[in-house]
Copies of this chain bind each other. A is one copy, B any other.
Amino acid sequence: MRIDIPSVNELIEAQHRIEGKIKRTPILTSLTLNNIFQCELLFKCENFQKVGAFKFRGATNAVLNLPKDRLKNGVATHSSGNHAAALSLAAQNARTKAYIVMPKTAPKIKQEAVRNYGGEITFCEPNQKAREEKLKEIVKETNAEFIHPYDNHDIICGQSTCAKEIFEEYKELDYIITPIGGGGLLSGTCLSAKYFSGKTKVVAAEPKGADDAYRSIRDDKIYPSVNPQTIADGLLTSLSERTFTIIKENIDEIITVSEENIITAMKMIYERMKIVVEPSSAVALSAIITKPEKFKGKKIALILTGGNVDLTNLPWLDD
């Protein structure tokens, strides 16, 4: 399979396409955290993005880049997470429909988010095969356009705008760190770093309990994510050929992190930055906790991917 790598012009076009439709999120800093880790940390706050996650960038780009005659049939996806909410709102904003296939076990709060943004939910059994089959049915019925959460050219172009915004504000970064799940955000970040930053190295952070991307890059073959165990519920998916190809060409390192470090990082972000993030967001900072020597004295951007979290079930409440 030949992968069509997004070009510098496609990334620039994506940014123009979604400008004003998405939030240009702020970059926050904390002197206390800089002192603790002895480096300069810049937190890109996608938890403040519309629908509370960076996913709205890719979804908006994918929807707006559809030709009119295909857009009118709507869009469809299978997801129980932020992509489902993001695609629903992006479709609503473009005055078209979003068909969301969700496992019937998906939390009520995620179902409500999708419905609030006008998405139409079809439930399926909670396994990958049922999801895909149900999605096929829906697409056949409605002629809606399937927008994959990450294995999609326009999605990756959309996600790239997050890092591009960082590079517009900060030229001389040593590192940019993102978490890795299916690799959509990381692919976009790799491309933005390559096109818009001379020297910034891209680091990915992955939970040890869901380290399929780490093993895939190490062994140069894609391992599926089998029975992943992590509180970072946005990072359970497997790489695709597309994201694998982009990432392996551009990544400096994938750092795997313990659950303990994810929780420590998450609590630090709440206590020191005074912001609400979901566990997946904390994975980037936990890479610094895990390998502090690598980052000492460096200037580092971290993408905080989202803020959709159950506030009655924060992980430190179990202590």
Residues of A within 8 A of B (CB): 26, 28, 31, 45, 47-48, 50, 52, 267, 270-271, 273-277, 307, 311-312, 314, 316-317, 319
Contacts and interface: CB of A to CB of B under 8 A. Distances in A.
Given A26-B26, A47-B274, A48-B274, 10 more contacts: A52-B274, A267-B311, A270-B276, A274-B307, A275-B275, A275-B276, A311-B314, A311-B316, A312-B317, A312-B319
A312 B28 CA distance: 24
Contacts of A270: 276, 311
Assembly of this chain: how many copies? 2
- Report which residue of A47, A271, A274, A311 has the largest number of chain B beta carbons within 10 angstroms of its beta carbon: A274
A106 to B, nearest CB: 18
B48 A31 contact: no
A267 B50 CA distance: 18
Nearest to A311: B270
A314 B310 CA distance: 13
A85 to B, nearest CB: 12
Contacts of A48: 28, 273-274
A26 to B, nearest CB: 6
B277 A275 contact: no
Given A274-B276, A274-B307, A312-B316, A50 B31 contact: yes
A140 B48 CA distance: 50
27 contacts: A26-B26, A26-B28, A28-B48, A31-B50, A45-B274, A47-B274, A48-B273, A48-B274, A52-B274, A267-B311, A270-B276, A270-B311, A271-B276, A271-B311, A274-B275, A274-B276, A274-B277, A274-B307, A275-B275, A275-B276, A276-B276, A311-B314, A311-B316, A312-B316, A312-B317, A312-B319, A317-B317
The 8 closest A-B pairs by CB, nearest first: A274-B307, A274-B276, A47-B274, A275-B275, A270-B276, A270-B311, A48-B274, A26-B26
Contacts of A316: 311-312
A210 to B, nearest CB: 24
A175 B270 CA distance: 30
Contacts of A31: 50
A52 B275 CA distance: 11
A26 B275 CA distance: 13
A276 B28 CA distance: 14
A45 B316 CA distance: 25
